[in-house]
Structure 1
Amino acid sequence: MHVPDGFIDVPTSAAAGVIAAGAVAVSLRGARREQGGDSRPGAAESGGERTAPLAGLVAAFIFAAQMLNFPVAAGTSGHLLGGALAAILVGPFTGVLCVSVVLLMQGILFADGGLTALGVNITCMAIVTVAVAYALFRGLVKVLPRGRHAVTAASFVAALVSVPASALTFTLIYAIGGTTDVPIGKVATAMVGVHVLIGVGEAVITALTVGAVIGVRPDLVYGARGLHQPLKLRVNGELVDAPAAGPAPAAARVSRRAVWAGGLVTSLVLAGVVSFYASASPDGLEKVAADQGMDRKAEEHAAAGSPLADYGVKEVDDARLSGGLAGVIGVGVTVVAGSAVFWAVRRRRSDDTSPAAVENV
């Protein structure tokens, strides 16, 4: 659902850009807390070690998964938005940053999503999906029985709802600053209808991914923290909380690296190989825009001359090889850019909480 240049007028695009910039700034501060783990002694460093590298990987996985358009109706396809997945795996603030990094890479390198519409895309695909999904997810896990199955089920529902919520947000923005005169009621109906179907695909991908990570390392899933009852010990006839576990053994650290490596390999395979078999049909927004005449004012992308535009490598004639190389490059660039952002956030947190910084406060 990448909005191209020309769909939204300049004042509205600028306003959305301000909203997106503010949300990213807030998310940078919030991500420092999320990457600090919990409040137990010694847990802050451990939480940061877990979250920072996983966040970069989540961004790369979302990039790869967005290349896999799946059919949802006759002549229409959809792809993962990723807001729910990112929020549940690494936290809502970090999740906004993950999806924003993906959208920035796609816009600059692959001419996917207009540069003047970057604020609109971040608002619809990062801010709204994360906010709606994580709020619903937290509400569901509070009422469902504690356990892994509850987290997976809540992930499914949260992801499903987040996609039509994003479509409604775009419709509202288009009602304010759309560049063509079209019946907004028809646009809203068409957008929500097709994106409910896309939401089913989003929900399946999100639930399967969250379930897979929980099955291997539940401590890596931000949304699953605190869902298990503390161990109780009977002391002098009274039940008391058992002491917190000590630092993770070396084997656990190796396992974390294995999870990261496995996720990276999966992302590379999805983008470099499986993407060739993705549906070539227009996605939900493209289909609605064509049917309703919203694409009459669409403009050529400013990065249309990029060597990787349209997810292909120029000068490479073989379509399979061209698309595969572009996907692999995209995953590599995204994981590096995402990891750099989150390591910088974590380093800033470490500097802010250092003894010298605390002494100067």
Structure 2
Amino acid sequence: MHVPDGFINAPVSAVAGVVAAGAVAVSLKGARRELNERTAPLAGLVAAFIFAVQMLNFPVAAGTSGHLLGGALAAILVGPFTGILCISVVLLMQGILFADGGLTALGVNILDMGVVTSVVAYALFRGLVRVLPRTRRSMTAASFVAALISVPAAAVAFTLMYWIGGTTDIPIGKVFTAMVGVHVLIGIGEAAITALTVGAVVAVRPDLVYGARGLTAPLKLRIDGELVDAPAPAPAREPAAAHRSTKGLWATGLVTALVLAGFVSYYASANPDGLEKVATDQGIDKKAKDHASKDSPLADYGVKDVSNARISGGLAGIIGVGATLVVGSGAFYVVSRRRTDDESVNSDSRRDEKV
């Protein structure tokens, strides 16, 4: 659902950019409460993983494909504020390096694919896990429903922005019907990917799933047909074991992202995604503009001057995963350090007050 330049007019794109910048600023502040030095690298990995999975377009209807948006997955795993930042990093890398998603439409895309999906999905997920039994199956089901709803919600958000600032005169009713209809189907794929990923992490490290924190009852896992309490986070006296476990999860996730982007992406559907299909069918793309990064060496997810399509796409995917991981991890580390510094200042202030 990457919106190109020219779909939305300049004034609305500018307003969307200002609102998106405000959302990112709020998220930077909120992410300080969600991140620490242990989880910051995992947040960077989540961004890299989402970049990789977004390369895997899957067929949803005749001549149409879809791909992961990722807001639900990021919000559930690392928190809604950090989730918005994860999607923002992914969109920035895609726009600058791969000419995917317009640069003047970056604010539109962050609002649509980042803010709307993360907020809607996390609110729905938290509401469901509070009323469902505390089991891995319930957590997985809640993530499935949250991700499923988040995609058509993003389609509605795009339709609203197009209604206000669309550059072509297309009846909004047709746009709404087409966008929501195809993105409900895409939402099923989003839901499946999100539920599988969340379920896999819950199975091995439930303490690292942000969406499961702060709930009153202990999470339960089904083992050999019986429900047992999930293991609690590693106690302070065993930091080495907890560190090794977290590093193992991080390494597994990184290898998975590299394999998906570097190899599996070659077999992704070549059909246009939901927005591209609707734009072509309804005439939304009549005033689309060439991307400012169209001459990038990695434009269209291929390495320039590498003639073999499999190698070119694979290299581009690996470079994208690496770049997203580095930028995301660096940004999240800085945010987590700000939290540590703030806590140190507050602690010193309280100590001085007592003296």
TM-score range with shorter-chain normalisation?
Answer: over 0.9
Letter in 1 for 2:274: G
Task: Encode CA deviations 1:98-128: one digit per residue, 9 max, x unaligned.
Answer: 0000000000000000000000000000000
Query: 1:229 and 2:211 equivalent?
Result: no
The residue that corresponds to 1:58 in the other structure is: 46
Do residues 5 (structure 1) and 34 (structure 2) align?
no
Q: What amino acid maps onto 2:24 in structure 1?
A: V
In structure 2, the partner of 1:256 is 246
The partner residue of 2:152 within 157, 164, 167 is: 164
Selected match of 1:123 from 107, 111, 136:
111
259, 262, 265: which one aligns with 1:275: 265
Residue matched to 2:193: 205
Shift of 1:230: 6.0
Question: Match for residue 102 of structure 1?
Answer: 90
Shift of 1:229: 2.6
**Contact 1:62–1:80 (Cα < 8 Å) also in 2:** yes
1:306 to 2:318 alignment: no
Q: One-letter code of the match for 1:144?
A: L
Find the counterpart in structure 1 of residue 312 from structure 2.
322
1:14 aligned partner: 14
Check whether the contact 2:37–2:333 (CA below 8 A) recurs between aligned residues. Answer: no
Render the CA deviation track for 1:35-64: whole Å, top value 9, x for unaligned: 1xxxxxxxxxxxx13321110000000000
1:71 to 59, 67, 77: 59
Amino acid at match of 1:325: L
Does 1:246 find its partner at 2:245? Answer: no
Query: What residue identity is the alignment partner of 1:173?
Result: M
Aligned to 2:228: none
**Greater CA drift, 275-284 or 343-352:** 343-352
Distance 1:60 1:182 in 2: 36
Q: Which runs of 5+ in 1 are unaligned?
A: 36-47, 232-242
Q: Is the 8 A contact 2:9 2:165 kept in 1?
A: yes
SS of equivalent residue, structure 2 residue 307 = coil
**Is the CA contact (8 Å cut-off) linking 2:91 and 2:106 kept in structure 1?**
yes
Between the aligned partners of 2:217 and 2:73, the Cα distance in structure 1 is 24
Q: 313, 323, 331: which one pairs with 2:321?
A: 331
Distance 1:315 1:193, change over 3 A: same
- Does the 8 Å contact 1:76/1:287 carry over to 2? yes
SS at match of 1:71: strand
- 1:214 corresponds in structure 2 to 202
The structure 2 residue matched to 1:292, chosen from 256, 262, 282, is: 282
Gaps of 5+ in 2: 220-231
2:222 corresponds in structure 1 to none
Deviations 1:271-317 (A, max 9, x none): 00000000000000000000000101000000001000000000100
Structure 1 moving runs of 4+ over 2 Å: 226-231, 243-246, 355-361
Whether contact under 8 Å (1:140, 1:154) holds in the other structure is: yes
Change (3 A) 1:317 1:245: closer
Give, as a single letter, the amino acid of the residue that structure 1 aligns with 2:289.
Answer: E
Shift of 1:358: 4.2
Count of residues paired in the alignment: 338
Matches of 2:214 and 2:18 in 1, distance apart?
A: 35
In structure 2, relative to structure 1, the CA distance for the partners of 1:258 and 1:313 (3 Å cut) is: same
TM-score, L = length of structure 2: 0.92
**Relative to structure 1, is the Cα distance of residues 299 and 244 closer, same or farther in structure 2, using a 3 angstrom cutoff?**
closer
Instruction: State the Cα distance separating 1:228 from its structure 2 match.
Output: 6.0
1:75-94 maps to which residues of 2 (within 5 A)? 75-94=63-82
CA distance in 2, matches of 1:229, 1:291: 50
Counterpart position of 2:226: none
1:354 partner SS: helix
Task: Report the identity percentage.
Answer: 76
Residue 227 of structure 1 deviates from its aligned partner by 3.8
Is the Cα contact below 8 Å between 1:146 and 1:227 reproduced in 2?
no
TM-score relative to the length of structure 1: 0.91
The alpha-carbon deviation at position 356 of structure 1 amounts to 7.5
State the 1:23 CA deviation. 0.3
Tell me the SS of whatever aligns to 2:37. helix
1:154 — aligned with what? 142
Which residue identity does 1:185 align to in structure 2?
A: G
Distance 2:337 2:233 in 1: 26
Aligned with 1:113: secondary structure?
coil
State the Cα distance separating 1:246 from its structure 2 match: 3.2
